[in-house]
Chain A
Amino acid sequence: AQTVTQSQPEMSVQEAETVTLSCTYDTSESDYYLFWYKQPPSRQMILVIRQEAYKQQNATENRFSVNFQKAAKSFSLKISDSQLGDAAMYFCAYRAGGGADGLTFGKGTHLIIQP
C-alpha cells in the first residue's frame, strides 16, 4: 500500500520569506502523480501544484515550486515570498497513474505566516 509522510506538523515563517514543506512517500508503482493541496479554515481543498512522476522537470506555479526527487521518493514544496494568505494546512497527496484511484494523503503541515 502507498503511504505519504509529512514530518512537520507545524511550520512558521515570516511574511516575505521562503519556507519549504517536506513530504516523502512510498510506492512500488512507476506511474503516479503527486499533489500539494492547501486547506484554509474554510475547509475548501485547493490544488496548489501537481507533479507527474514521469516528468523530470520540477513543477512550478508562480511562488510555489516543488523539489521532486524520484529515487529518494521525496516531494517538497517551496513557497517563496510568503504572504498572509498562504496560512493554511498543506497536504501532500499521491495517486497511482490511470486516474481512477483515490488520493492518499499525508497528515498535513499547519503553516503559520508571521506578519
Chain B
Amino acid sequence: GAGVSQSPSNKVTEKGKDVELRCDPISGHTALYWYRQSLGQGLEFLIYFQGNSAPDKSGLPSDRFSAERTGGSVSTLTIQRTQQEDSAVYLCASRGLAGDWSYNEQFFGPGTRLTVL
C-alpha cells in the first residue's frame, strides 16, 4: 500500500453504542499514532504505539477509549458507550524506523469522521 489507510471513512452511530475504527499503517512503519480532530478542541494526540513496547496512552480522554495494535501493524481504536462529544474526525499516522528517511515525519491517513447522534 502506498499510504496510511483508515476505515470506515464515515461512521454514524447512536449514543451509547460501541464503535471500532481501523488504521492500516504504511508497510514497515513501526510507530503508529491516533489523533482526534474536533471543532472545539482542535487536533489532539490520543495514543502512540512503537513496536512491541507498551503504548503511550497519555492522550486518551477517558477509559471509554482504548486501542490495540495487532502483529505490529493494523490498529483498532475502540470507543465504548459513545457520547455526542465523541463526534470528531479520528486521524491515524505512522512513522518509519530510526535511521530511515521517514523517521522524522508522520504520515497521516484520510481519517474517519465519527458522528454520534
CB within 8 Å of B: which residues of A?
A: 33, 37, 42-47, 50, 52, 91, 99-108
Contacts and interface: CB of A to CB of B under 8 A. Distances in A.
Given A50-B104, A99-B104, A104 B45 contact: yes
Nearest to B103: A99
A45 B113 CA distance: 14
Given A100-B48, A105-B44, 15 more contacts: A37-B108, A43-B113, A44-B108, A44-B111, A45-B93, A50-B105, A99-B31, A99-B104, A100-B31, A100-B50, A100-B56, A103-B33, A106-B42, A108-B42, A108-B43
Interface of A, secondary structure class, is loop
The 10 lowest CB-CB distance pairs between A and B, nearest first, are A102-B45, A45-B108, A105-B43, A43-B111, A107-B42, A44-B110, A43-B110, A102-B48, A102-B33, A47-B105
Nearest to B50: A100
A69 to B, nearest CB: 21
B89 interface: yes
A43 B50 CA distance: 25
Nearest to A52: B104
In this complex, the member of A42, A105, A107 whose beta carbon has the largest number of chain B beta carbons within 10 angstroms is A105
A91 B43 contact: yes
B51 to A, nearest CB: 11
Contacts of A103: 33, 35, 43, 45, 106
In this complex, the member of B31, B42, B98, B109 whose beta carbon has the largest number of chain A beta carbons within 10 angstroms is B42
B42 A105 contact: yes
A4 B2 CA distance: 31
Contacts of A108: 42-43
Contacts of B59: 102
A33 B43 contact: no
A24 B45 CA distance: 19
Interface string B46-63: 101010000010010000
